[in-house]
Structure formats: C-alpha cells, structure tokens
Chains A and B, each alone.
Chain A
Amino acid sequence: MKRLILMIAALVSCFSMSVSAQDTMPPAPYAYRQLDDPALEAKAQDLMETLRCLKCQSQSIADSDAPMAGDMRHQVRLRIAAGESPDAIRGWLMERYGDYVSYKPEISASTWPLFAVPMILVLLAGVILLRRLRNST
C-alpha cells in the first residue's frame, strides 16, 4: 500500500513537472476569437495560414496551439482589424524573423534558382524536341 502511494506520488509529480514547462496565462484575446467582420476574418485567416509558427516550426500559426502562435494570431487579427494590409503584416514579421517566418514562396537572392532552373529545363527540352522534329522530317 505504502509503495503504491509512493508510486502515485511520483507519477503525479511527473505530471506537474511537465505542466510547469507551459505557461498558465489565458490565451491572448484574439488568439482563438474571430474578428466580428467575416471579410476581415477571412483576410486574417488567409494570412495566418501562410505564417510559420516559430515554436513548432512545421506548423502555420493558424494550425498551432502553442501560446506564442496564439499571440501571433492576436497580432495578425488586431493589425488586420486596424486596416493594415496582409502584405504589410507579413513584411513586419519578415523584417524581424527573416524569410523563414513566411510560407509564401518569394523570389530572392537565395531562392531564384528554384524558379529559374525548371524554366531553363523546359526551354532546353523544347529546343531539343524542335531540333529532333526538324531532323526527322
């Protein structure tokens, strides 16, 4: 019996340890609350789906339940409600966190080959095809 109680106590302390690694504050006001205007909320939702959660890097802030993602959604909704454009908000975050925070593909100094190489390959294939067709006739 005594051992059982000890075991339960150990288990409970385990749980309270893992719980203490998460904050106990309520979520930000607009973390889970939609904007009243459906058009603005849709705009905010579209933007939130293309912003990366920094705590849980494979999720968008729209998908994540991390408190920081909630705080980011709060920021996005407030700024959209205040009339800021989605691109300006994305820019505001990219100014602080770099391209990494955005899921929207952007042509930049490091990403241009991703867009250029397929185009070059298609052009090359076209040229080869044309030449072969011309030779065969």
Chain B
Amino acid sequence: MNWRLWIPLALFAGFLALSAYQLNQPKDEFVESRMVGRQLPYFDLAPAMPNQPGLASAQFTDGTPRLLNVFASWCLPCIAEAPQLERLQREGAEIVGVAIRDRPADVARFLAQNGNPYSAIGSDDLSALQLELGSSGVPETFVIDGKGMIRYQHIGDIRAGDVPMLLGKLREARQ
C-alpha cells in the first residue's frame, strides 16, 4: 500500500492536535500596553478633587521615579488595592493618581474611606490619558522613571505579593 496516502490524515491529525493544544491554553484577558519602554505622552490634567494638585507630564522629569495609579471611585478592585498602595507609600514610593470618569466629590469620599496615598491626582473625564497610555481598565499601575519614561505596567489590583516587586521596579527605575 502506498504510504503517501496517509499524509493527509497525518496532517489533519496534526491540525487537530494543534487546535486541542491551543484551545487548552489559558486565555489572556489582559491587553498589555505597548507604551512600556516609551516616553509618557504630553498631558496636563486638572485636579481630581479640591486641595490636591492636578497631574501634568512635566512633573515626571525631576529625577524621581513614581507609580502612576489609574483608578476610579466607582471601581471595586480599587478599594481592594487601597491598603497595598498605602503600604507602598509607607515604604517610600511616590504615588500619583489618575481618576477615570470621576466626580470631585466621589473622589474625595473614596479617599476619605480608603486612604489617600497620592501626592497628586489628575482628572481624566474622557479616558483620554488612559487611551494615550494604552491602559484598558481600572486599576492599573505604571512605573515611571525620573525622566518620564514608562518602565513597567501592572494590570489589575495590586495584591500584597506584588508590593515587593513594584518596589523593586521603582529601584530599577532609579538607576
């Protein structure tokens, strides 16, 4: 019998195996930003609440690495990550915030309830900066070095186990 007759069947079996393998791979729900490794885009956001400065890209070029936390008062995982942000701040991280689609009164209430680790918070009512950063949800946290370059993106809420990693990324950004 001609062995070549089996080639199509073998190819089909190979295709099935590939499909089965790919279908069993966990789906990656996260859309990673392509802006990591690039300079922050220009922006100048109004303060998200009274008594707290707003946020502008010019503030990032003073040599201090920062965490840029994208959050919102209406975002439930942001409540979960609030204690970790406070811990990061206690460990010496400078944290600035961008409040997405939020009202000043709601931001103030959220911070009164969950703590305020931010040195400045900009208001992004149209998700404009969020789109510029390649961020696709709240919360997300970017590590920005002292020259305004985006060094790292953390997607989702910061868990206790992520704190040392983020502090490490900030140390790396200092060099």
Q: Is B33 an interface residue (CB 8 A)?
A: yes
* Residue interface bits A22-55, CB-to-B below 8 A is 1, else 0: 1111001000000000000000000000000011
Chain B minimum-CB-distance residue to A29: B126
Q: Is the interface of B mostly helix, strand, loop or mixed?
A: loop
| Interface 1/0 per residue, A3-26 and B, CB below 8 Å | 000000000000000001111110
Annotate B136-169 by CB proximity to A: 1 below 8 A, 0 otherwise.
Answer: 1100000000000000000000000000000000
- Given A23-B101, A24-B106, decide whether A96 and B74 contact each other with a Cβ distance below 8 A: no
B157 to chain A: closest CB distance in Å?
13
Cβ-neighbour of B74 out of A23, A57, A95, A101 (below 8 A) = A23
Chain A residues with CB under 8 Å of B125's CB are 25, 28
Binding site for B on A (CB under 8 A): 20-25, 28, 54-55, 57, 67-68, 71-72, 74-75, 93-98, 100-101
Q: Interface extent on B, as a size class?
A: 20 to 34
Tell me how far the C-beta of B120 lies from the nearest C-beta in chain A, rounded to whole angstroms.
21
Q: Which residues of A contact B121 (CB under 8 A)?
A: none
A23 to B33, CA, bound (A): 23
Binding site for A on B (CB under 8 A): 29, 31-35, 72, 74-76, 100-103, 106, 125-128, 130-134, 136-137
Evaluate contact between A55 and B137: CB separation under 8 angstroms.
yes
10 cross-chain pairs, A with B, having the tightest CB-CB distances, nearest first: A96-B134, A54-B136, A71-B127, A23-B101, A25-B101, A23-B74, A28-B126, A71-B126, A21-B76, A98-B34
Residues of B within 8 A of A28 (CB): 125-127
Find out whether the CB atom of B32 lies under 8 angstroms from the CB atom of A98: yes
- Contacts of B127 on A, CB cut-off 8 Å? 28, 67-68, 71-72
**Chain B residues positioned under 8 Å from A21 (CB to CB):** 74-76
Q: Which of A22, A55, A75, A96 contacts B128 (CB 8 A)?
A: A75
* A97–B34 touching, CB < 8 Å: yes
- Answer whether A55 and B103 are a contact pair too, CB < 8 Å, given A21-B74, A23-B72, A68-B127: no
Q: How far is the CA of A101 from the CA of B126 in the complex (A)?
A: 18
Q: How near does chain B come to A78, taking the closest CB pair, in angstroms? A: 10
Complex Cα distance, B134 from A100, in Å, reads 12
Kindly report which residue of chain B lies nearest to residue A98, judged by CB atoms: B34
A67 touches B34 (CB 8 A): no
Sample of 5 A–B contacts (CB below 8 Å): A22-B74, A28-B125, A55-B136, A67-B127, A98-B31
